[in-house]
Amino acid sequence: MQFIDEPIAVSTIQAMAEEMFGELVKAVVDVDLGCLVIGGVMHADEEALLLGQGSLQRDLWGINLHPALFGTAGFVEFDSMINIRPGHGNRSRSVDDPGVRATIVAIVERLVTA
């Protein structure tokens, strides 16, 4: 797993994808701190790393990155079991709040470069 708070090349993510799942890399984004962790086998592993570094649960969202789709809307996939939080109004594996989704995309666009 890799903690990302400085830009990383999409080619690095592509290499990670090829080693792990073939076409995607799992990631957890901290929408408050503007960072992410990539490369875990499960989103829960990445979530645990961020929680151990002081992130708050309410700020963590699981996504998948599809390097082959870099630069398109399909690059970021909002799908993770850690996103199911009925107590906070998120009842699905997706990210239901459009504002949170936009924040996640902005963080990913800032941190993942060509």
Q: Mean pLDDT across the stretch 81-92?
A: 95
Tokens of 13: 């993510």
Query: What is the dihedral angle through the alpha carbons of 12, 14, 18, 24, rounded to the nearest 10 degrees?
Result: 120
Q: What pLDDT digit, counting tens, does each position of 49-79 carry?
A: 999 999 999 999 999 999 999 999 999 999 9
The label of the residue with tokens 């009842």 reads 91
Q: Please state, in angstroms and rounded to a whole number, the distance separating the CA atoms of residues 56 and 40.
A: 19
Q: What pLDDT digit, counting tens, does each position of 16-48 carry?
A: 999 998 999 999 999 999 999 999 999 999 999
Whether the Cβ atoms of residue 27 and residue 46 lie closer than 8 Å to each other: yes
What length does the chain have? 114
